[in-house]
Amino acid sequence: MTSIDISEQQLDVARSGAAAFGLNVTFVRADVVDLSCLGDATFDLVYTGGHVAVWVSDLQRCYGEAARILRPDGLLIVSEYHPVRHPEDADDVILEQVIGQAEATLARDLV
């Protein structure tokens, strides 16, 4: 299992949690739009979620990287909250990016 975060402080929290449960996890500090530190077709499963998408600078690159590191028969799980779940935390540019990406994905998948 590998855990990615851009924040070393968040990785420290995750390391403590993993240690408390005796989990064997590799922690990597990286930006999800550039996972060049990870090889192609390396993982069976990639999970992202928990209100991460609103903080990602480029969702297309993020999901492109997720696809790149997945094995051909791998599974990508995206579990995100709606961007207006906490509208006080969302900025208009990020909301437009998230909504635009969702619209583009739906349009592509419906063709």
pLDDT in tens, the chain (111 residues): 999 999 999 999 999 999 999 999 999 999 999 999 999 999 999 998 877 887 888 989 999 999 999 999 999 988 876 655 555 555 555 556 666 666 666 656 554
Q: Which two tokens stand for residue 13?
A: 């929290």
Distance of CA 24 to the CA centre of its chain: 20
Name the one residue in this structure whose structure tokens are 């209100």: 51
Distance between CA atoms of residues 62 and 56, nearest Å: 7
Distance between CA atoms of residues 100 and 78, nearest Å: 17
Q: Which two tokens stand for residue 10?
A: 């968040």
Distance between CA atoms of residues 95 and 13, nearest Å: 28
